[in-house]
Chains A and B, each alone.
Chain A
Amino acid sequence: AQSVTQLGSHVSVSEGALVLLRCNYSSSVPPYLFWYVQYPNQGLQLLLKYTTGATLVKGINGFEAEFKKSETSFHLTKPSAHMSDAAEYFCAVSVINSGGSNYKLTFGKGTLLTVNP
C-alpha cells in the first residue's frame, strides 16, 4: 500500500523568502503524485501533479515540484512567498491497482504554511 509523509506540520517563512514543503512517498509501483492547497473552510485546490515524463513539474501560483525517484520525494517549492500563499498544503499519491485502475488518493497529514510580513 502507498503512503505519504509530509515533514513538518508547520512551516513559517517571511514574505519574499523561499518556500520549501517536503513530501516523501512510499509505493511499490510508479506513483502519480499531487500537491493540493486548502484555504480555511474550503475544499482542496490542485496546485500541480506528476504522472509521467518530465520530473520537474510547474503548477499554479508560481509553485513547482520535482519528482526524485531515488529519494522517493516530491518536494514543493516557490522562490518567493506571498502573503496569499498562507494555507495548508497536502501531498497525495495515487497508484494503479491490480485491475489497472487508479482512483484513490492517499494524503499526507498536511503542512500549514504561515507567511510573515
Chain B
Amino acid sequence: DAMVIQNPRYQVTQFGKPVTLSCSQTLNHNVMYWYQQKSSQAPKLLFHYYDKDFNNEADTPDNFQSRRPNTSFCFLDIRSPGLGDAAMYLCATSSWGRGLNTEAFFGQGTRLTVV
C-alpha cells in the first residue's frame, strides 16, 4: 500500500503558468520534504515542514513555494515555471524529534515538463 502518494505522476505545464504538485501521506509523520531531481543528478532539498514550521533551503529560488494545510498533505507551488524547472519532484516524509526518528519515505515522484 502506497504510504506517500504524489499526484499527478506526470505534469505538463506551460512556461510561466503556475502549477501545483500534491503530496499526501498515511504515516502521520510530522516532517514532509520536497526534493527536486534533475536528470542524472542527485535529489536536492528545496524545503521541508517540521510540523507546521516551514524551513526553506538557502538556495531555493523564490519561484518555489509550499503549503501544508494539515499533517497529511503538502503542496509544491511553482509560481512561474521556467524551462530549467523541468525535473522530477520528490516528496518524502519522516518522523523526527519525538523519541522515534524514522528514515525518510519517498513517494513515486511527479515528473514536470515545461513547454
A binds B: no
B residues with CB within 8 A of A? none
